């Protein structure tokens, strides 16, 4: 028979450090209510408060007796009410892999999923991947009502995305190619809300631009023709990528070798980069 926890008290100290929801620093300090989210400092806890309090008490009141091993704790974002914790059953499919059974909440055979691997609001990778599952009507607002639950969670954020129909979130162990399910927790809830803020249904995660490749400064000696015809200066400062072929194919001049200077030279076609 299921039961509920009704007594608040200090969270038991874990045997090994956990990771702060906000910054990923190791810590032993858990939220005294839900005992699911960990914070390394009062500042990190305060920065997470506006999101954490939306589900903290619900998490505490949720039935703590775990059903069979085929069930895992997940979060349901219904259209008209608040976010709910549910037990999501996994079943073995025809291919032999276990899949979550979302049929009690979503239309069977018409599902899409998004995988969350990085929190771009907190700018950090997730230790475990989180999945969002929803119906195909997400892309057609005329067939599915606006998800006011998600809207309310992102109401204070600058977001342009609208979700329609119910959405289920569940977690798996590991970030790359996970195969094992696990109970979702309050840390995951923070990442999910941040994802809703920056992403809409069927929209790929916005990948930050790659950092510029490192360069090395050099001097280009322009010929008289380039100087006269194209207005180039005789000695022009340039930057070359570290992967430029000059660093693998060019050789040092005899003068540079005698002076023991690390100078590389290469002939350039006139009026070229």
- The average pLDDT across 105-128 equals 83
Domain ranges of the chain: 63-198, 209-273
Higher pLDDT, 115 or 67: 115
Give the Cα-Cα-Cα angle 117, 79, 179 (nearest 5 degrees).
Answer: 30
Q: What is the pTM of this model?
A: 0.66
Higher pLDDT, 22 or 112: 22
- Average confidence score pLDDT of the chain: 79
pLDDT at 188: 94
140, exposed or middle or buried, with CB in 10 Å at 0-12, 13-18, 19+?
exposed
Helix (H, G, I), strand (E, B) or coil at 83: coil
| pLDDT class of 211 with cuts at 50, 70, 90 | low
Residue 142: pLDDT over 90: no
Rounded to whole angstroms, the Cα distance separating 218 from 204 reads: 40
| pLDDT class of 127 with cuts at 50, 70, 90 | confident
Structural contact between residues 184 and 171, judged by C-beta atoms closer than 8 angstroms = yes
266, exposed or middle or buried, with CB in 10 Å at 0-12, 13-18, 19+?
middle
- Within 8 A by CB and 6+ apart from 161, the residues are 196, 197, 198, 199, 200, 201, 203
Rounded to whole angstroms, the Cα distance separating 153 from 132 reads: 16
Residue 6: pLDDT over 50: no
pLDDT at 164: 86
| Residue 18 main-chain phi, psi, to 5 deg | -100, -175
């Amino acid at each position: 028979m299921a039961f509920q926890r009704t007594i608040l008290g200090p969270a038991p100290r874990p045997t090994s450090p956990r990771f702060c929801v906000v910054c990923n620093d190791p810590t032993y300090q858990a939220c005294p209510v839900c005992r699911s989210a960990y914070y390394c400092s009062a500042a990190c806890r305060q920065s997470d408060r506006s999101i954490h309090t939306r589900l903290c008490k619900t998490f505490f009141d949720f039935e703590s007796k775990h059903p069979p091993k085929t069930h895992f704790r997940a979060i349901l974002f219904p259209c008209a009410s608040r976010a709910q914790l549910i037990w999501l059953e996994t079943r073995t499919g025809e291919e032999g892999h276990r899949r979550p059974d979302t049929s009690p909440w979503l239309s069977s055979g018409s599902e899409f999923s998004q995988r969350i691997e990085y929190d771009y609001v907190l700018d950090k990778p997730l230790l475990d991947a989180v999945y969002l599952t929803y119906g195909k009507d997400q892309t057609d607002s005329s067939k599915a009502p606006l998800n006011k639950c998600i809207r309310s969670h992102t109401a204070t954020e600058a977001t342009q995305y609208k979700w329609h129909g119910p959405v289920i979130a569940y977690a798996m162990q590991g970030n790359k190619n996970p195969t094992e399910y696990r109970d979702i927790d309050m840390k995951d809830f923070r990442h999910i809300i941040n994802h809703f803020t920056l992403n809409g249904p069927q929209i790929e995660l916005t990948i930050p631009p790659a950092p510029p490749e490192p360069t090395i400064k050099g001097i280009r000696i322009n010929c008289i023709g380039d100087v006269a015809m194209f207005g180039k200066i005789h000695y022009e400062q340039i930057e070359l990528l570290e992967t430029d072929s000059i660093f693998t194919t060019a050789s040092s001049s005899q003068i540079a070798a005698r002076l023991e200077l690390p100078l590389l030279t290469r002939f350039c076609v006139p009026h070229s980069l």
